[in-house]
Amino acid sequence: MAVVERSVYRNWQTVPEHFWSGEIFFTKGFRTFRELGNTSLGARTLEQMHLTKDMIKNMEVALQFKENSHPVTSIDADCSGSHVVVGSEGDRSITLFNCNRGTIHSALYSKKYGVGLVRFLAPHQILHTATMTDSSLKWSFILVITNPFADTIRLLSMTKNKYIRYFKGHTDKVQSVAVTPNGEYFLSSGKDRLTYLWESRVKVPQTVINLDSGTHVAIDSEAKIFATASSDSVIRLYDIRNCLKGPFALYDTKEEFLARSNWTGVKFSPDRNYIMLTTDCGYILLLNTSTGKLHRLLTGFEYKEGVNIGACFLGDSNYVFSGSEDGRIYVWDLDRPLRLGSNLDFEPFVLNGRHHHPCRCLVFNPTYALLVSSCKVTKFWTPRPSDAKIETATNVETE
């Protein structure tokens, strides 16, 4: 049974009741009223929250959920902002949170296949990869049979508790999945050194890209381009409509101090200006999307060599959040001036509060100005109500 705890922080008592009952808050610049349209969140009015640096510094835990007995290993937020999902490899579980109400919507277990990556295809439909091996397979003296569980991507309905579709094509473990904002297409890459472009309604891949190296993938917020980050330290950008023509840009990011590191993930910033590369050596790289040049090198957080630490952007792309081995959340202000001639940023600030175990998964939900972070415990971080500066929709500039 899920254990849900309200934060012990005093300010919880001052949170407006409407915060979890249907009001929608927006980070400045992320979405307009027309883009949101008629949502399923039950919003009665539209207000816009401007997150200042002080508000971000003072973010605190509003809710925490002790749902998992093992660490969370994957996290994602759906495009509408209504839900967040976490997956635990140790628990073999997938937990869906309702961000509108601040509750657990459902928790399902995949004991047979295990749970690797979790990604939203739709608000209640989750793509997930597997971690378990098929115990029915036998070793041959001359042939090693690949694992049919880990190379298949499954689409799970969280409301019906059943699999809708199986996507088969990879011949080795899937290590990266990225979905377009409308859920029409998604990308996957695996240890077989192949990258697939899938149409979500079709079981077989539409396009196959062979890069001869391990790869991570990301899709930009407008679903126009996607990036592959290969173990050969090269970023390749593709037009998602003409990816068979090959990449239209290649960025070689080899750095001497990163020679022994591995890339653990790639993301576009919401404004599409930056490409984020996470590593297992205590650095986060931000590249200029247009030029491929290193914009900033973020460091200063606790890390364990060889272990992935997750990171994410604020909705307006002006801040980066990172987990850490010490359980704290580190934040970098991308507007803060650096030393002349340097792109190294080693002075993040730290949010008040922490996890008691390493925090390696986090995601920012811009619809509710909500940061979600996980170790064994999943925490919802929000700005303090006393710091919130709210403007009504009539005062918000429209396009």
DSSP single-letter state for residue 244:
G
**What's the CA gap between 99 and 87, in Å, rounded?**
16
Distance of alpha carbon 290 from the chain centroid: 22
Find the CATH number of the domain harbouring 124: 2.130.10.10
Q: Which residues contact 234 (CB under 8 A, 6 or more apart)?
A: 250, 251, 252, 253
* H-assigned helices in 176-319: none
Q: List for the chain the helix, strand, coil content (%; round to 5).
A: 10, 40, 50
Position 46 pLDDT exceeds 60? no
Q: Report the pLDDT value the prediction gives residue 149, as an integer from 0 to 100.
A: 63
Position 204 pLDDT exceeds 70? yes
**What's the CA gap between 185 and 128, in Å, rounded?**
15
pLDDT digits (tens, 9 = 90+) for 91-140: 999 999 999 899 999 999 999 999 999 999 998 999 999 987 654 444 33
pLDDT band at 256 (very low <50, low <70, confident <90, very high): low
Higher pLDDT, 66 or 213: 66
Higher pLDDT, 194 or 145: 194
Domain that holds residue 361: 4-395
Looking at the structure of the chain, the number of domains it has is 1
**What's the CA gap between 399 and 397, in Å, rounded?**
7
pLDDT digits (tens, 9 = 90+) for 317-362: 999 999 999 999 999 999 999 887 788 899 999 999 899 999 999 9
Higher pLDDT, 114 or 3: 114
Confidence (pTM): 0.83
Q: Residue range 279-306: average pLDDT? A: 93
Cα angle 34, 20, 316; round to 5: 45
Q: Residue range 175-195: average pLDDT? A: 95
Q: What is the mean pLDDT of the chain?
A: 81
Closest CA to 220 of 241, 251, 196, 200: 241
